[in-house]
Chain A
Amino acid sequence: QVQLQESGPRLVKPSETLSFICSVSGYSISSGYHWGWIRQPPGKGLEWIGSIYHTGTTYYNPSLQSQITISVDTSKNQFSLKLSFVTAADTAVYYCVRLKYSGYRYYFDYWGQGSLVTVSS
């Protein structure tokens, strides 16, 4: 059974960098699939942040591209998210996800439990 677990801070100050790690169990990242991040502000909808393949190829949401870096560490079976220069608008639950590839298209079939981060001084 594939499981994903986010780890990161609960509180970040404005203008700082938010960093999350997603640890994957039950599947080796180096075997394939894209892996990514989605966020959800409290009481609001879902926003795709970006995705990465095990080779390091990335796809970023253009609305966040200047802020984000997604990387993968296959030796640890982990991937990570860095979001720089955060503001209160970046307060959200952050989910790590696996992307299911079907018909040359991507859907999100496995999700972490989510981790709430608050941006506040």
Chain B
Amino acid sequence: DIQMTQAPSSVSASVGDRVTITCRASQDISNWLAWYQQKPGKAPKLLIHAASTLESGVPSRFSGSGSGTDFTLTISSLQPEDFATYYCQQANSFPLSFGGGTKVEI
């Protein structure tokens, strides 16, 4: 099974900050990675798939990069609605698996 590790587990930031979250896979997953945003009490929302492809309607301040084992989610200028927990998910092979999450807070 592929293990996904996110860092940091939480980050304190302010509106307008650039925020970077990393995700590492226990083995090469090419670019088969997604990022999700989850707000309290809500279901996760798919932001990015295939490491860097933005979903329709997702603001361009979100971007993803990486391949192989190391990936990054960047929020270029943090907005109030971006305070949430972010998860990565590997899509390379079953069982599909998630990272432990990164909470972006004030």
Answer whether residue A66 sits at the interface, using C-beta atoms and an 8 A cutoff. Answer: no
User: Which residues from chain A sit less than 8 Å from chain B, CB to CB?
Assistant: 45-48, 59, 61-63, 95, 100, 102-103, 105-109, 111-114
Cβ–Cβ contact B43 & A95, under 8 A:
yes
- Contacting A at CB under 8 A, from B72-100, are 87, 89, 91-92, 94-100
Chain B interface residue number, banded = 20 to 34
Bound form: Cα–Cα A112–B42 in Å: 9
Q: List 18 A-B contacts (CB under 8 A).
A: A45-B87, A46-B44, A46-B89, A46-B98, A48-B96, A48-B97, A61-B95, A62-B1, A103-B32, A105-B50, A105-B92, A106-B91, A107-B34, A107-B91, A108-B44, A108-B89, A109-B55, A111-B45
User: Which residues from chain B sit less than 8 Å from chain A, CB to CB?
Assistant: 1, 32, 34, 36, 42-46, 49-50, 53, 55, 87, 89, 91-92, 94-101
Which residues from chain B contact A107 at a C-beta distance below 8 Å?
A: 34, 46, 49, 89, 91
